[in-house]
Structure 1
Amino acid sequence: MPENKNRQFLEFEKPIKDLFDEIEKMKQAQEKNPKVDMSGPISELENLVIERRKEITQNLTSWQKVQLSRHPDRPYTMKYIGKMTTGFVELHGDRNVRDDKAMVGGFAQLNGETVMFIGQQKGINTKMRQLRNFGMANPEGYRKALRLMRLAEKFNKPIITLIDTPGAYPGLEAEERGQGEAIARNIYEMMRLKVPVICVVIGEGASGGALGIGVGDRVMMLENTWYTVISPESCSSILWRSWEMKEKAAEELRLTSDHMFKFGLVDRIVPEPIGGAHWDYDQAAANLKSVLVETLQDLKQVPAEERVRQRITKFSKMGFWDELPA
């Protein structure tokens, strides 16, 4: 996790920031005068930080959870892979156009088992965010993901996808190269994969950008994430012609993990460390790893043909509709 001096704080995390500032002042005072023992007061403030983290995250609004999912210190796909696995070998390219840096994937050892990991990567600084296109994949990114899925199926290896994107790249060139077709093809092919497939929303899960790697036997969300057809800002701009209603839009979209679980659109919510995943990368990864290992063991007990049938049935039942009389 980031060093204390490099931490970034959201608006509603200000009480925690104030405590960190106090701790930093005490540490500086102790450095200037080593004879003064500040360990006691510092320890008390550090315990208070934990209490404040717990209080703040107990009653978060939908918009605040959206903000947490975008927190600049939040761990991304490569961080989870690095913390959960060993021997990760990244594979590149769609064998057609180019290698899309917004989509990463490769084989790794998860608890001693070879697994194909695929996910969106946003980038940890300005230069890397530009390189990764802020986690917005082009068509070749989704075609690369599909190539890796087929490779995993060829060698009978499970697939885990980590979803974290504000959406597929909406540029003209992406549409010209078949963005919609690439996402639709992935959805179709993922339904039929004969190996276990687990999908996890680790940050933002927006629209077709998420769905392009979001079809699996089990779909999960981390506690402070969101998953819906449109971002609150875009929804606000369409309905109210302004981004100022984004908080209301977030509430009305019912996009948080608890809503998604209640609607039956996800199968499980993975708890995060107190205050959010950005406070403890090791704990966040450990929580997710234990759930993934457990779920993989369960899925491997089901025959491949039955898994495919259950997967198709699962997604076919989603949604609500009424038929008008003829």
Structure 2
Amino acid sequence: MHSYLEFEKPVADIVGKAQELKALAASGEAVDVDGEIARLETKANQTLADIYAKLTPWQKTLVARHPDRPHAAHYIAALIEDFTPLAGDRSFGEDQAIIAGFGRFRGQSVAILGQEKGSDTETRLRHNFGMARPEGYRKSVRIMDLAERFGIPVLSLVDTAGAYPGRGAEERGQAEAIARSTDRCLSLGVPNVAVVIGEGGSGGAIAIAATSKVLMLEHAVYSVISPEGAASILWRDSARAQEAATSMKITAQDLLRMGVIDGIIEEPVGGAHRAREIIIDRAGTAIETALASMASLSPDELRRQRRDKFLAIGRSL
């Protein structure tokens, strides 16, 4: 049973009617309803397709945050063989908001950095809702250092509302840790690819997404601040989040046009949460293609192309 978002209510109503007919047929209280059930199911699918063909930026934000959307752990489990997680920043401690380690992706060794939100109350608390502390970013730098030492590409799975803003994180140098992680992404002499699978929020996302290739799922969002945060700052009213989302250009389609990202991975109709296996396989194919495009580049060429890519953002020719 899917968890429907508010704007999906027309679909939920149609599906509910179809389920009522199925229940009546199963109980023997109705006969010859198969045709009507099929008609309702077809109508529900078409309504869903129509809704998702014209989602607003705010609706895309809600889809990107859907609790059933596949998380980093799901992508790692499906795409990475022999995954070996590594823990700790060798300075303060472990941060489970970022899953990090090494494994094999379709025949080649890769390093993985995945922001994990968690899927239920227990795992959400354990992973701090995907909001990393300084030790998470310092762990990421440690993994990237190892990857470069052994010539292994780096794959980042981005899904966070932002870096953790708590007092302890600030006391331990949150801004400095984010800056060093961003710098390490940019200076790597091995290929690196980032996929925004849900939310790409603020410096918490860019810290592991300053990569040679940045891909986004069709209904993911990527922004310098959340729509609610932007509305609170600009208008002192978080209720204007929908307006902020539209103005901020946070969708994959807008960001591709502006050159902020390099590609969009099409989601199944109704969003990634409705067909996890399909979207994970599509993401894997897109990652494989991106890595293959950089396989022959030297470390200096990778650094130069990455530098030119980010310096070109926002410049008019």
Distance 1:88 1:39, change over 3 A: farther
Q: After superposition, give the CA deviation of every residue in 1:106-162 in whole Å (9 maximum; x if it has no partner).
A: 222221222111111001112211111111000001111111111222221111101
Q: Counterpart of 2:153 in structure 1: which amino acid? A: P
Displacement of 1:80: 1.5
Of 43, 48, 53, the residue aligned with 1:53 is: 48
Of 101, 108, 114, the residue aligned with 2:96 is: 101
SS class of match (1:212)? helix
Of 180, 191, 194, the residue aligned with 1:196 is: 191
Q: Counterpart of 1:192 in structure 2: which amino acid? A: S
Match of 1:144 in 2: 139
Displacement of 1:24: 2.5
Is 1:315 matched with 2:306?
no
Distance 1:43 1:137, change over 3 A: same
Preserved contact between residue 144 and residue 184 of structure 2 (Cα < 8 Å) = no
Distance in structure 2 (CA, Å) of the matches to 1:110 and 1:27:
43
Displacement of 1:236: 0.6
Match of 1:304 in 2: 299
Unaligned runs of 5+ in 1: 322-326
Q: Counterpart of 1:95 in structure 2: which amino acid? A: R
TM-score (norm 1): 0.92
Unaligned runs of 5+ in 2: none
Of 243, 266, 275, the residue aligned with 2:270 is: 275
Distance in structure 1 (CA, Å) of the matches to 2:38 and 2:84:
41
Q: Counterpart of 2:279 in structure 1: which amino acid? A: A
Distance in structure 1 (CA, Å) of the matches to 2:91 and 2:295:
33
Q: Counterpart of 1:213 in structure 2: which amino acid? A: I
Match of 2:80 in 1: 85
Distance in structure 2 (CA, Å) of the matches to 1:38 and 1:141:
56
Of 220, 223, 234, the residue aligned with 2:215 is: 220
After the TM superposition, which of the residue ranges 124-133 and 193-202 deviates more from structure 2?
124-133
Match of 1:112 in 2: 107
Distance 1:14 1:35, change over 3 A: closer
User: Where does 1:20-39 land on structure 2 (aligned, <5 Å)?
Assistant: 20-33=15-28, 36=31, 39=34
Preserved contact between residue 24 and residue 30 of structure 2 (Cα < 8 Å) = no
Match of 2:158 in 1: 163
Distance in structure 2 (CA, Å) of the matches to 1:286 and 1:51:
24
Distance 1:61 1:147, change over 3 A: same
Distance 1:46 1:107, change over 3 A: farther
Displacement of 1:20: 2.4
Distance in structure 2 (CA, Å) of the matches to 1:38 and 1:151:
62
Q: Counterpart of 2:303 in structure 1: which amino acid? A: V
Displacement of 1:249: 0.6
Is 1:68 matched with 2:63?
yes
Distance in structure 2 (CA, Å) of the matches to 1:36 and 1:112:
54
SS class of match (1:295)? helix
TM-score (norm 2): 0.95
